[in-house]
A and B are shown apart, each in its own frame.
Chain A
Amino acid sequence: MKFHHVFHTYSAKTPYQFEALRDVNLSLLEGSITAIVGHTGSGKSTLVQHLNALLVPTEGTLEVAGITIEAKKTPKAVKRLRQYAGLVFQFPEYQLFEETVEHDVMFGPLNFGCTKEEAKKRAHEALTRVGLDASFYARSPFELSGGERRRVAIAGILAIQPKVLVLDEPTAGLDPQGAKAMMTLFSQLHQQGMTILLVTHDMELVYEYATHVVVMKEGRVLAHVPTSTFFETPIEGYDLRLPPLVRVIHALKKKGIHVPYERVKDVTALVNYLKDIQRWPA
């Protein structure tokens, strides 16, 4: 997935004109969990909507899955793009509409030309993956809880079997346990070979799960770095609020204790690590 000098301007030549992307050059890594961070209005959502041609650049080109998307032209292979990159929007539970959970998850595969049996099989697989068992199949999505509805919506995208999963604030509005379970699901999908793009404000999620970080500001890409670099060296023009765990790690470093980011992702891991080095001082 490569962006070449991509610009995107909304409502060009009207008083509402807004430049959401300005000269974006970016090469997203396959097999990574890339977090896209930036303040509200920095162009994160606009950026990811280019990946499956929901939006096309107003200038510049991009390459996704070997397909070139040119400025102001909806590519012919749009269905292939939609299948390649599955987009989960913010609060995806609002896209549910079918009478049963099973039918709603089958909707995507059927649109991409699967047979009924195949779609059903995929739907069951996807629902199992998100942790919903057979007792949910025949229920109406509207009688489920918020967290369950979101799982159904995500299963609806997973059933398309995309290579890249794009998630816009997937944990917004969930309780801490729900958010944790959701993120665990995504890291499992990642281990099974899926590329994951995560649009988020939550630095703790970035620290815990992302392998790479793209920083955006006012429509430009400020940086595209590995997560450890992102938390180590401040990025000019981006005001990063470090999560508490990272602040502790930084404080320890000042005291001369070096903690590797890759191995310490939560408080328990940090405590264990500190115990270990106490036992066997380097």
Chain B
Amino acid sequence: MASLALGRYVPFHSFIHRLDPRVKLFGMIALMTSIFLRFPSVWTNLSMYAVIFVVIVSLMHVAHIRLRTMLKQLKALWIMMVFLLVINVLVPNTSEIAGYFSIGSLRIYYSALLQTFYIVFRLVLMLGLTLMLTGTTRPLDLTYAIEWYLTPLKGVGFPTHEVAMTIAIALRFIPTLLEETMRIMKAQASRGVDFLNGKLQEKLRAIIALIVPLFISAFQRSEELANAMEARGYNPSAPRTRYRQLVWKAPDTWSLFFLILFVGGMITLNSLGFDVIAFWHAL
């Protein structure tokens, strides 16, 4: 059950918690981009991944997000890893390094193993980054940041405020719906539903017993909310003021500077065809 809460805001007072959400949103996207850079040789790739790994893990440490608890909660990732491994192993692959070893009549290419490692590694880092954003930023602040980035589109008639409001409401209801889910699960468990064990058919029934009441209550809630908003005269197209303001501070500028430096550096190296081994020889 605890894994349902993965990614929710945890109120600490770290440096990253206090950063402007706009920097954090930009940072997440920029660092994610750098994860997907592909360098020409294996060793360059591996060493670049090592650098990114160290950067992201130390950022996570600052943000009080523990890599170990994150991995522990991601048991589903293991299944995916095995799946990826099986798929990759079945496809002959010599893109990175040539050669293979054999188990019985099965050829396992070194590149296939490497490929699987890359994918899983990227997944873990991306999750870490996402958790860092959602774990240190209040959902509402995040919506403000999204709204801010969308502001230029207002000129071409894009409903910036409406989109931001929709996102804000959706985020607001995640914990409520989770609570509701738990409540209905408990109610149905009291009627003898076993959500964990049982045959496929029984599991399907269990899921129907959960989904139907959940949908009904979600629709009911949304209608109530819409009525409550209308009753208080909410008009999405009216000019609005805001209680919480985003304030840009010096640490935000510094963080943005280092982020651009890091990601920009990575991209430049990548486009120059940087090679660790050649670099080493040149030294």
Q: Could you tell me if A160 and B216 are in contact, using CB atoms closer than 8 angstroms?
A: no
Residues in A whose Cβ lies below 8 Å from that of B11 = 15
Q: Is B191 an interface residue (CB 8 A)?
A: yes
In the assembled complex, the Cα of A110 lies from the Cα of B259 at a distance in Å of 59
Q: Is B268 an interface residue (CB 8 A)?
A: no
Residues in B whose Cβ lies below 8 Å from that of A54 = 186, 189-190
Q: Could you tell me if B184 and A82 are in contact, using CB atoms closer than 8 angstroms?
A: no
In the assembled complex, the Cα of A160 lies from the Cα of B192 at a distance in Å of 9
Q: Is A170 an interface residue (CB 8 A)?
A: no
Q: Could you tell me if B191 and A95 are in contact, using CB atoms closer than 8 angstroms?
A: yes
Residue of B187, B212, B216 ringed by the most chain A CB atoms within 10 A: B187
Taking a contact as CB atoms closer than 8 A, the residue among A15, A82, A94, A156 that contacts B213 in the complex is A94
Residues in A whose Cβ lies below 8 Å from that of B190 = 52, 54, 82, 86-89, 157
Nearest chain A CB to B192 CB, angstrom units: 3
Residues in A whose Cβ lies below 8 Å from that of B184 = 94-95
Taking a contact as CB atoms closer than 8 A, the residue among B12, B187, B192 that contacts A83 in the complex is B192
Given A15-B12, A54-B186, A95-B187: A82 touches B192 (CB 8 Å cut-off): yes
Shortest Cβ distance from B196 into A: residue: A74
Q: Is A97 an interface residue (CB 8 A)?
A: yes
Residue of A52, A94, A97, A157 ringed by the most chain B CB atoms within 10 A: A97
B134-188 residues with Cβ-Cβ distance < 8 A to A are 183-184, 186-188
Q: Is B55 an interface residue (CB 8 A)?
A: no
Q: Could you tell me if A142 and B216 are in contact, using CB atoms closer than 8 angstroms?
A: yes
A70-111 residues with Cβ-Cβ distance < 8 A to B are 79, 82-83, 86-89, 92, 94-97, 107-108, 111
How many of chain B's residues have a CB under 8 angstroms from any CB in A? 22
Q: Could you tell me if B191 and A107 are in contact, using CB atoms closer than 8 angstroms?
A: yes
Nearest chain A CB to B252 CB, angstrom units: 25
Q: Is B193 an interface residue (CB 8 A)?
A: yes
**B-facing mask of A190-222, CB < 8 A → 1, else 0?**
000000000000000000000000000000000
8 further interface pairs, Cβ-Cβ under 8 Å (given A107-B209, A142-B216) = A11-B5, A14-B10, A82-B192, A87-B190, A88-B190, A89-B187, A108-B192, A111-B191
Residues in A whose Cβ lies below 8 Å from that of B189 = 54, 82
Q: Could you tell me if A92 and B187 are in contact, using CB atoms closer than 8 angstroms?
A: yes
Nearest chain A CB to B6 CB, angstrom units: 12
Q: Is B204 an interface residue (CB 8 A)?
A: no
Q: Could you tell me if A157 and B191 are in contact, using CB atoms closer than 8 angstroms?
A: yes
Taking a contact as CB atoms closer than 8 A, the residue among B192, B194, B209 that contacts A97 in the complex is B209
Given A15-B12, A54-B186: A156 touches B212 (CB 8 Å cut-off): no
Count class of interface residues, chain A: 20 to 34
Q: Is B208 an interface residue (CB 8 A)?
A: yes
Count, A-B residue pairs, CB within 8 A: 60
Residues in B whose Cβ lies below 8 Å from that of A238 = none
Q: Is B217 an interface residue (CB 8 A)?
A: yes
Shortest Cβ distance from B186 into A: residue: A54
A-B contact pairs, 8 of them (CB 8 A): A14-B10, A82-B191, A97-B212, A107-B191, A108-B191, A108-B192, A142-B216, A160-B191
Residue of B183, B186, B217 ringed by the most chain A CB atoms within 10 A: B186
A27-75 residues with Cβ-Cβ distance < 8 A to B are 49, 52, 54
In the assembled complex, the Cα of A95 lies from the Cα of B12 at a distance in Å of 37
Q: Is A112 an interface residue (CB 8 A)?
A: yes
In the assembled complex, the Cα of A95 lies from the Cα of B194 at a distance in Å of 15
Q: Could you tell me if A112 and B10 are in contact, using CB atoms closer than 8 angstroms?
A: no
In the assembled complex, the Cα of A93 lies from the Cα of B11 at a distance in Å of 35
Residues in B whose Cβ lies below 8 Å from that of A83 = 192
Residues in B whose Cβ lies below 8 Å from that of A15 = 10-12
Residues in B whose Cβ lies below 8 Å from that of A142 = 216
Residue of A11, A15, A111 ringed by the most chain B CB atoms within 10 A: A111
In the assembled complex, the Cα of A89 lies from the Cα of B10 at a distance in Å of 29
In the assembled complex, the Cα of A179 lies from the Cα of B212 at a distance in Å of 27
Q: Could you tell me if A79 and B187 are in contact, using CB atoms closer than 8 angstroms?
A: no
Nearest chain A CB to B221 CB, angstrom units: 11
In the assembled complex, the Cα of A87 lies from the Cα of B188 at a distance in Å of 10
